[in-house]
Each structure stands twice: as structure tokens, then as C-alpha cells.
Amino acid sequence: MRGSLSLPMLKTTLIKAAHAGAAEILRFYNGIFKISNKEGVNNLVTEADHAAEKAIIEVIKSTFPGHQILSEEVGELIQESDYKWIIDPIDGTINFAHGIPLNCVSIGIEHEGEIIMAAVYNPHLQEFFFAEKGKGATLNDKPIRVSEQTQTIKACLVTGFPYTYINTVNGPLEIFERFVRKGVPVRRLGSAAIDLCWVAAGRFDGFYEHKLEAWDSAAGYLIVEEAGGKVTDHEGNKFSVYQHRVLATNGKIHDEMVAVINNTQEL
């Protein structure tokens, strides 16, 4: 059951787990570590990913041994529990492997199908984003809010591209071109969790991507919503972390971005 007594313990464990994963990131960062490939030539997994994942799961299991876990590298550890921890031990592995300090630990806690708590921690910048359902979002314990931009043409956007995808009609490149040909700045940081958190913090006005997994979006999704933003699929429908396409904005440019993404309106 989700009771008031369990929430402080969940929060404490979540924060501890994020710090444990981050400690492994820093331990391996700019050092020598093993790298292997998953699907796609640049879809990497490193020794540090596995070490961070192990450290995170050990912290969770020490307090909540019966909870379910869904993590990028080990997959799903199914148990009889209403709670699921959705983990990306290093979001932005390519960045990490190249010594680029835009990578992070991302952990969301799901209860009965709803994300109720989330943490994203970039130890390089010492930025710890946190959100609890109904209680707002913070960066290093200070409240954050989405931007006030009302026009997409004046927005600063961020996106990412899948490692493998068919070059389909209305695919990532076509949509990217629609924005940049109109002069809209669209950044590509290489970490969806950071992208989402930076929307929450008002640094970006909107983020869209075509092929995310639950561990990419679970934490950042809640952080955006708790910062006053809006998250849907590309058609504007209710978002689920288990579907691939995400659009996250400050809410004020959301409908316009949906229209541009679906090619029903020009900027």
C-alpha cells in the first residue's frame, strides 16, 4: 500500500540509490573501462553502466527487497508488488563514453501504474532533480517551473534521434527540418532524462523524441508535470512511459507543437 509512512522511506531510498549510481559514474568517468555494443553501432553499454546499475539495485533491495525493478541493462525483475523502480543507470552513455559531462542517473518509482516519485542526478554538474506526485519539482531542493514562452517560433527546443530507425514519412529528420528551416533553435544533448529536466527547469520550452523506453522517460516525465509542464504522445494523447513517442513542453506551446509534428500546421 502507498501510505504516508512509506513515502519518506521511499524518498530516502530513492535519493540514496541515485547517489550510489552517480558515485559509480564518477569513479569510471574519463578512465579506462570496457565498452560493448547493443543493437546499432553506436548503442553502447559500458562497464560503468553495469556498475552503476548494480549499486542502485543493491540500495533498493536493501530496503525494499520485494519491489519490482525495470532497468535498462538487467531488464525486468518481476515480483508480487504494486511498486516498480524504473532505472536508467547512465542516461547518456555515448556522452559518458566520450567524456562529455551530460549524463545522469534516472530513477522513477511507479505505484499501481502511476509514476509517484522521481530523481535525475547529473553528478558532473551537481544537479539533482526530484519530484513527488502532487508536491512539485525541485532542483537541488529549490522549486523549479517551466518557461512562460507562448510561441513555438520563439522557443528553444531539444530533441534526440534513435540509433536505429527507418527513414519514414514524418520521421525524426523531417520533423527536425520543419523547425530548423524556420530558424527555431533545436538542440541535441544526448540524454533524454536531462532534456526533460531542463524543460522542467525552464531552460528549454519543449522536447520531443520518437523512440524512448520507459527508463528514459519515467523520471523526467513526472518532473516536467510537477514543474507545471505537459507531457503527451505526439498526437497529444495521455502519455505512458511504455510507449515510445514523447512530447514535453511548458504547456503553452504544446498544441502548436503537436500540429507542427503532425504536419497539420506550419510555423
pLDDT tens-digit profile, the chain (267 residues): 344 448 999 999 999 999 999 999 999 998 777 676 655 555 567 899 999 999 999 999 999 999 999 998 787 888 889 999 999 999 999 999 999 999 999 999 999 999 999 999 999 999 999 999 999 999 999 999 999 999 999 999 999 998 766 567 788 999 999 999 999 999 999 999 999 999 999 999 999 999 999 999 999 999 999 999 999 999 999 999 999 999 999 999 999 999 999 999 999
Tell me: do 25 and 96 sit in the same domain. Answer: yes
CATH number at residue 116: 3.30.540.10
Nearest-angstrom CA–CA distance, 52 and 96: 12
Residue 267 is assigned to a structural domain of this protein: no
Annotated catalytic residue 195: no
**143, 170, 192 — which closes off a domain?**
143
Rounded (10°) angle between helices 254-261 and 172-180:
120
Cell numbers for 157, please give them.
527546443
How is the beta sheet containing 246-249 ordered, strand by strand? 186-187, 157-159, 206-209, 246-249, 230-232
Tell me: do 39 and 116 sit in the same domain. Answer: yes
User: Taken in order 224, 46, 13, 109, is the CA torsion positive or negative?
Assistant: positive
**92, 110, 143 — which closes off a domain?**
143
Residue 1 is assigned to a structural domain of this protein: no
Tell me: do 75 and 22 sit in the same domain. Answer: yes
pTM for this predicted structure: 0.94
Cell numbers for 75, please give them.
531488464
Burial zone of 233 (CB within 10 Å; 0-12 exposed, 13-18 middle, 19+ buried): middle
CATH number at residue 198: 3.40.190.80
Asked if residues 220 and 226 have their Cβ atoms less than 8 Å apart, the reply is no
Instruction: Pick the catalytic residue from 93, 138, 152, 159.
Output: 93
Instruction: Pick the catalytic residue from 216, 225, 226, 256.
Output: 216
Instruction: Pick the catalytic residue from 24, 49, 53, 91.
Output: 91
Annotated catalytic residue 88: yes
User: Domain total for the chain?
Assistant: 2
Tell me: do 17 and 137 sit in the same domain. Answer: yes
Instruction: Pick the catalytic residue from 72, 110, 132, 209.
Output: 72
Cell numbers for 97, please give them.
563514453
> What's the DSSP call for residue 238?
B
Residue 23 is assigned to a structural domain of this protein: yes
Tell me: do 197 and 99 sit in the same domain. Answer: no
Give Rg (Cα) of the chain. 18
Annotated catalytic residue 93: yes
Tell me: do 233 and 135 sit in the same domain. Answer: no
Asked if residues 27 and 124 have their Cβ atoms less than 8 Å apart, the reply is no
Q: For residue 253, what are the domain limits?
A: 152-261
Residue 217 is assigned to a structural domain of this protein: yes
Nearest-angstrom CA–CA distance, 88 and 131: 17
> What's the pLDDT at 76?
80
Annotated catalytic residue 72: yes
Tell me: do 131 and 158 sit in the same domain. Answer: no
DSSP string computed for 25-45: HHHHTTS---EEE-SSTT-EE
Nearest-angstrom CA–CA distance, 260 and 249: 14
